Amino acid sequence: MIKTTIIINTSILKFLSLALLLTCAFLSGNAQNKTDTTGFNQEGEAKINLTGQLIQVTWPVKEGESGQLIFNLEKGKPLFKSIGINTLTEYQEITTNLDPGFILTVGKRDLTKKSGWDIFFDKVPLKAYQSYRINHIKENASIISKGSRTIIKIPGLSASTFKGFLEVTLYHGSPLFNVAAVMTTDVDSTAIVYDAGLISKVPAWEQLSWSDTQDKLQTIHVNSLDSAKNLAVKYRTIIGESSKGSLAIFPAPHQYFYPLDEAFNLKFVWHGNNYRDLLSGYGMGIRQELEGDKRYVPWFNSPPKTLQRLNFYCLLDKGKAQNILTDVKKYTHNDTYKSLSGYKTMASHFHNEFIMKVVLAGKPIPEKPSFVDVFKNTGIDIVHLAEFHYTAHPKGPDGQRLKELNALFEQCERLSDKDFLLLPGEEPNEFFGGHWLQLFPKPVYWIMSREKDKPFLTNDPKYGKIYRINNQDEMLKLLELENGLAWTAHARTKGSTGFPDAYKNEPFFLSNQFFGAAWKPIPGDLSEPRLGKRALDLLDDMNNWGLKKHMIGEADLFTIEPENEMYAHLNVNYLQMDKLPEFKKGWQPVLNTMKEGKFFTTTGEILFPFFNVNGKGAGETVKLNASGDVSIALHTNWTFPLNFALIISGDGKNVYHDRIDLSNTKAFGDKEFEFTLNLKGRTWIRVEVWDEASNGAYTQSVWLE
């Protein structure tokens, strides 16, 4: 037997013991889960499990199924350790080891102009700008329950002068979640855009799919060596597919698209390796073209200390890409405006210039122009044009002007039918100040100038009555004689900066022929849960001016083609009309409905089949009782989970916002809401509803006495 003698040095033993203790302490601290769950409802629908640095969250998606995310807070590890769906029998892990990736591009906002933060005429990419990858240092997290949502917040985001936190929102009742980098800066005069997506060191998908602009599903097998590519797609969606299911990435359908003149499809999704040399690894996601349509490109406002939500949506499915694309499309009714009993849809303000670019340009006139199919396929029943926008001869020569109008009227009549009404209109921008639109109830021949020796009204053997207008009094007289309407286009911005405020006391604005103004989301601001606040504030101001004016939605777009990203830039007005008038008989019913305020405006995802206050609908007057209590009934239909309702009222001086939290709602709902409010001393009321993706709808006002 061989004996072994071990001599232990006590100094070494003490050193090793201390090292062991320090190592254990480090590992213990490193494994500690620093997640605050004090705001989480332990008795709610969602469930959490904290193990080491992992956070497992499950939420119900439908009967017998739950979505599951496993977050990894360990430094250097992908944030999403696992994404999948639980069934009654198994967990289907759709994908693993993904990080959310964000690129923030920071430019300079021009605040020297009168429009200030409401500016549109800015060309941000022509000035100095810089793109940054948003870095994330994970240390802790918090989990919050809010209505039918579970929200996971993880601080530690930074890029340039911006700092913030990551926020993941899970929507109970659907396999939908939102990933947002919520960022803020103290720097003034800042404009931003962002790209985003999910990335991994090695491809997390076997196949990628998308719908091309012709609405055909395209699928490719993932190649780990593929360099990043930008794609023109329909529905703004790209899909990753594995053997266990699919995940779709898409942006908020309207909020993600800052205002432009053109709705060009600028390749809003990407996939591949090392995107923009800023996101290392293989990924897929959403993107913006920094140069936009190369006209005026304002990007998004980012005022100091505002919380900018750079976000995208993810949808899960256990099946193939085609299945999940069908589900994504449901959130926007397949990018159409859903038919609603008792209503006809109307879109306004299109500079398509079909007359000057085709009909009078000597080109072949198509039997069915593509722009007509675009409108019809989008579910729009009535289109109000704004032709001859700096392309024609509004002031004459008389013969040329009349020829142009005649061609417009003929084509509008030819292209209208029993299910579609194409209405002639212009953006005259003469006599009143700023930019404005007009709509007559029938073809009207008028010239925007009058020589001294010519009368206001003449009769022509070919065209009939011809009006020649020389000033704002004559313009108002024409509107009165022909029962036309006028309204301020893109109020308080673009060419209407300062209007209608500058002429709010003028006789033409005070008249019944001046309808009010138009709404479009200008400017873009990712910190705002509502779109188009600029215009909505004006609607409230006009109400407080004591004028019974209204606000129609406007698109203000130029090219209308099938391959364009039309839906993102559109909004629509639902007019209370049972049927369309025939073009030949005139369209006075359209103007009557507008003038009476019998319509609501929407981005498309939220509908109001019914609205009244004490039994009176929009445009009508309610006589308040002594108490001032009113009952508001609002039948609402929606796709994305709702965020809140706003009941807005005024007393002729102040505007009051009563916000009603709707976070208990789930996706794809239909409900008759009833609200009770005391409106003593108020003179008007209207309602807005907004969803989680900042899609919204608003009513016209009800007057109070």
Q: Which of 300, 330, 360 is the last residue of a domain?
A: 330
pLDDT at 207 over 50: yes
Q: Which of 296, 330, 364 is the last residue of a domain?
A: 330
- Whole-number Å distance between alpha carbons of 446 and 480: 14
124 and 245 both lie in a single domain: yes
pLDDT at 407: 98
* Range 255-281 average pLDDT: 98
* 3 state SS of 508: helix
- Among residues 88, 91, 84, 99, the alpha carbon closest in space to that of 246 is found at 84
Residue 40 falls inside a structural domain? no
Q: Which long-range CB contacts under 8 A does 109-114 form with residues at least 24 apart?
A: 109/189, 109/190, 109/191, 109/301, 109/302, 110/189, 111/188, 111/189, 113/497, 114/497, 114/498
pLDDT at 638 over 60: yes
pLDDT at 32: 73
348 and 323 both lie in a single domain: no
- Whole-number Å distance between alpha carbons of 598 and 273: 52
657 and 680 both lie in a single domain: yes
Q: Alpha helices, DSSP H only, in 230-271?
A: none
pLDDT at 268 over 80: yes
- Among residues 386, 346, 376, 380, the alpha carbon closest in space to that of 599 is found at 346
Residue 22 falls inside a structural domain? no
pLDDT at 15 over 90: no
For 616, the domain range is 344-704
Between 27 and 599, the more confident residue is 599
- Categorize the per-residue pLDDT at 33 as very low, low, confident or very high, splitting at 50, 70 and 90: confident
Residue 21 falls inside a structural domain? no
**258, 300 contact by CB (below 8 A):** yes
pLDDT tens profile 586-600: 999 999 999 999 999
Q: Alpha helices, DSSP H only, in 418-502?
A: 472-481
349 and 497 both lie in a single domain: yes
- Whole-number Å distance between alpha carbons of 485 and 503: 16
- Among residues 612, 614, 631, 632, the alpha carbon closest in space to that of 623 is found at 614
317 and 363 both lie in a single domain: no
pLDDT at 26 over 50: no
pLDDT at 373 over 50: yes
Residue 358 falls inside a structural domain? yes
pLDDT at 429 over 60: yes
- Whole-number Å distance between alpha carbons of 572 and 594: 13
* Range 288-300 average pLDDT: 98
Determine the residue type at 22.
Answer: L
- Whole-number Å distance between alpha carbons of 514 and 549: 8
**603, 519 contact by CB (below 8 A):** no
**Residues 288, 519, 119, 157: is their CA dihedral positive or negative?**
negative
635 burial via Cβ count (<10 Å: 0-12, 13-18, 19+): middle
- Among residues 303, 308, 309, 292, the alpha carbon closest in space to that of 258 is found at 292
- Whole-number Å distance between alpha carbons of 315 and 178: 9
277 and 373 both lie in a single domain: no
Residue 17 falls inside a structural domain? no
252 and 394 both lie in a single domain: no
**614, 630 contact by CB (below 8 A):** yes
pLDDT tens profile 543-552: 999 999 999 9
Q: What angle do CA 397, 401, 407 make, to 5 degrees?
A: 150
Residue 417 falls inside a structural domain? yes
* Range 13-26 average pLDDT: 37
User: What does DSSP assign to residue 537?
Assistant: H
- Categorize the per-residue pLDDT at 6 as very low, low, confident or very high, splitting at 50, 70 and 90: very low
121 burial via Cβ count (<10 Å: 0-12, 13-18, 19+): middle
pTM for the predicted model, two decimal places: 0.95
- Among residues 542, 488, 531, the alpha carbon closest in space to that of 348 is found at 488
pLDDT at 14 over 70: no
**If you search the block for the tokens 């122009």, which residue do you land on?**
369
Q: Which of 278, 298, 330 is the last residue of a domain?
A: 330
| C-alpha distance across the termini of the chain, in Å | 111
DSSP annotation string for 626-640: TT-EEEEEEEEEESS
- Whole-number Å distance between alpha carbons of 106 and 190: 7
The upper half-sphere exposure of residue 460, i.e. CA atoms within 13 Å in the direction of its Cβ, equals 17
- Among residues 67, 378, 145, 98, the alpha carbon closest in space to that of 253 is found at 378
421 and 570 both lie in a single domain: yes
Residue 190 falls inside a structural domain? yes
- Categorize the per-residue pLDDT at 31 as very low, low, confident or very high, splitting at 50, 70 and 90: low
Q: What angle do CA 85, 86, 90 make, to 5 degrees?
A: 120
pLDDT at 210: 98
193 and 82 both lie in a single domain: yes
- Categorize the per-residue pLDDT at 174 as very low, low, confident or very high, splitting at 50, 70 and 90: very high
Q: What is the CATH number of the domain that holds 91?
A: 2.70.98
- Categorize the per-residue pLDDT at 473 as very low, low, confident or very high, splitting at 50, 70 and 90: very high
pLDDT at 7 over 80: no
Q: What percent of the chain has pLDDT over 90?
A: 95
Mean pLDDT of the chain: 95
pLDDT tens profile 61-101: 999 999 999 999 999 999 999 999 999 999 999 999 999 99
pLDDT at 19: 38
- Categorize the per-residue pLDDT at 533 as very low, low, confident or very high, splitting at 50, 70 and 90: very high
319 and 413 both lie in a single domain: no
Residue 16 falls inside a structural domain? no
CA 549 to chain centre: 25
**Residues 196, 200, 204, 208: is their CA dihedral positive or negative?**
positive
Kindly give, in sequence order, each residue whose CB lies less than 8 Å from that of residue 296, ignoring residues fewer than 6 positions away: 120, 121, 122, 123, 260, 261
**321, 216 contact by CB (below 8 A):** no
Total domains present in the chain: 2
- Categorize the per-residue pLDDT at 396 as very low, low, confident or very high, splitting at 50, 70 and 90: very high
**73, 34 contact by CB (below 8 A):** yes
* Range 358-386 average pLDDT: 97
* Range 238-251 average pLDDT: 98
pLDDT at 9 over 90: no
310 and 376 both lie in a single domain: no
pLDDT at 437: 98
Buried b vs exposed e over 253-268: b needs ≥16 C-beta within 10 Å?
A: bbbbbbbbbbbbbbeb
- Whole-number Å distance between alpha carbons of 499 and 517: 10
- Give kind and range of the element (H or E) at residue 541: helix 533-544
- Categorize the per-residue pLDDT at 8 as very low, low, confident or very high, splitting at 50, 70 and 90: very low
199 and 259 both lie in a single domain: yes
Q: What percent of the chain has pLDDT over 70?
A: 96
- Whole-number Å distance between alpha carbons of 26 and 535: 57
- Cα→Cα distances 59→9, 314, 664, Å: 57, 14, 14
